[in-house]
């Protein structure tokens, strides 16, 4: 019963476009295969990780539209609002990701709803907190970790954009995790529920590892 209630709440949040998707595509690229989000993982369709996630977002939007029509007679005329997608890359793969999305016409998403940005590089530290050097007088830097994704939104001035769209939830997902159910309405509904009842501001969905490997 609770799962059904959470699912309904989550679909309502999606239908009202009160959630944005934040895709983390800024990890270290694979030297022999190029940018990780554009990786061909061996599917017969040749779909990349990024394409699969974009299509997942579109599919959930269609489900939310069907739900809205079944619950509200006037919903058909208003329609489901598009979901905003923010793709955070690194400065190495930003151009390639942009070109890939443009070549595929954003997989049917509106241009105004897709934002591609790069987070900053960070210096690597050793276990004593000292900056590691790539060579003499040059710090060794790598793309910032997942923890810097929200700072990237701040740096690019996108927080006002989120607020202007009425966004109350941000669904964060790494592009290399195909096990993640992006925009899972049950999880969204649960987060909405605890936000109202317990004033919680964040939720994490995970699967416990069976072993370190």
What is the tens place of the pLDDT at every residue in 93-118?
Answer: 888 899 999 999 999 998 989 999 88
- Stretch 204-213: mean pLDDT, rounded? 79
Is residue 18 within 8 A of residue 187, CB to CB? The reply is: no
For residue 186, what pLDDT is reported?
A: 93
Placement of tokens 């060579």 in the chain: 135
For residue 67, what pLDDT is reported?
A: 79
- The CB-side HSE value for 87 (13 A sphere, CA atoms) comes to 28
Q: CA–CA distance from 1 to each of 4, 5, 47, 183, 186 (Å)?
A: 5, 6, 36, 20, 12
- For residues 112 and 95, give the distance between their C-alpha atoms in angstroms, rounded to a whole number: 18
Tokens read off for 27: 């990890």
Is residue 187 within 8 A of residue 7, CB to CB? The reply is: no
In whole angstroms, what separates CA 130 from the centre of its chain?
Answer: 32
- For residues 178 and 128, give the distance between their C-alpha atoms in angstroms, rounded to a whole number: 35
- The closest alpha carbon to 92, from 44, 58, 141, 45, belongs to 141
Q: How confident is the model at residue 185 (pLDDT cuts 50, 70, 90)?
A: very high
Residue 75 predicted with pLDDT over 70: no
Read off the pTM.
0.83
Q: Is 39 helix (H, G, I), strand (E, B) or coil?
A: coil
For residue 55, what pLDDT is reported?
A: 93
């Amino acid at each position: 019963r609770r799962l059904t209630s959470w699912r309904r709440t989550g679909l309502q949040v999606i239908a009202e476009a009160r959630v944005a998707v934040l895709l983390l595509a800024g990890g270290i690229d694979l030297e022999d295969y190029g940018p990780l989000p554009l990786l061909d993982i061996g599917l017969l369709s040749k779909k990349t990780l990024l394409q699969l996630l974009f299509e997942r977002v579109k599919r959930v939007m269609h489900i939310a539209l069907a739900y809205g029509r079944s619950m509200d007679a006037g919903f058909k005329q208003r329609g489901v609002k598009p979901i905003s997608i923010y793709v955070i890359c690194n400065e190495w793969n930003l151009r390639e990701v942009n070109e890939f999305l443009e070549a595929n016409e954003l997989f049917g998403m509106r241009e105004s709803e897709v934002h591609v940005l790069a987070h900053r590089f960070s210096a690597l530290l050793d276990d004593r907190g000292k900056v590691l050097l790539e060579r003499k007088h040059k710090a060794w830097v790598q793309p910032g970790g997942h923890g810097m994704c929200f700072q990237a939104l701040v740096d690019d001035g996108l927080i006002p954009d989120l607020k202007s769209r009425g966004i109350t939830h941000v669904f964060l997902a790494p592009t290399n995790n195909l096990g993640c159910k992006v925009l899972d309405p049950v999880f969204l509904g649960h987060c909405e529920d605890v936000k109202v009842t317990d004033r919680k501001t964040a939720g994490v969905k995970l699967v416990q590892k069976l072993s370190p490997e």
